[in-house]
Amino acid sequence: MTPLAEPATVVLPSVIDLKAVTPLHQEVLALRGRALTIDASEVTRLGALGLQVLLSADATWKLDGNPFSIVKASDEFSGALQLFGASALNAADAEELRP
């Protein structure tokens, strides 16, 4: 499937906790069918539910055949991904993991 519209960017909130997950999920889901870039530059705290939304979006975009990437990851965001064992979700970290 090819992207239907212009690429979209979602800027993540600084704290991705229970309160932020539902609006984030709705925003991301509304962009399905488009190339999606996630800007993680402002993230200071990433909770497990926020990670779940991002992992689900990554998998959904791959299944749909649309580009999905996370850019400008803050140190805190990258560190949280590493703690969760999900560093491959971050494009910069994924490059380091590839053989």
Q: Is there a domain that residue 92 lies in?
A: yes
Q: Is there a domain that residue 3 lies in?
A: no
Q: Is there a domain that residue 1 lies in?
A: no
pLDDT single digits (tens) 1-47 = 444 568 899 999 999 999 999 999 999 999 999 999 999 999 999 99
- Residue 15 buriedness (CB in 10 A; 0-12 / 13-18 / 19+): middle
Query: Which structural domain range is residue 89 located in?
Result: 8-97
Strands (E), 18-95: 36-39, 45-46, 68-71
Q: Is there a domain that residue 14 lies in?
A: yes
**Is residue 42 within 8 Å of residue 13, measured between CB atoms?**
yes
Alpha carbon distance 12, 54 (integer Å): 10
Q: Report pTM.
A: 0.84
Task: Report the CATH number at residue 21.
Answer: 3.30.750.24
pLDDT single digits (tens) 71-90 = 999 999 999 999 999 988 88
Alpha carbon distance 75, 2 (integer Å): 32
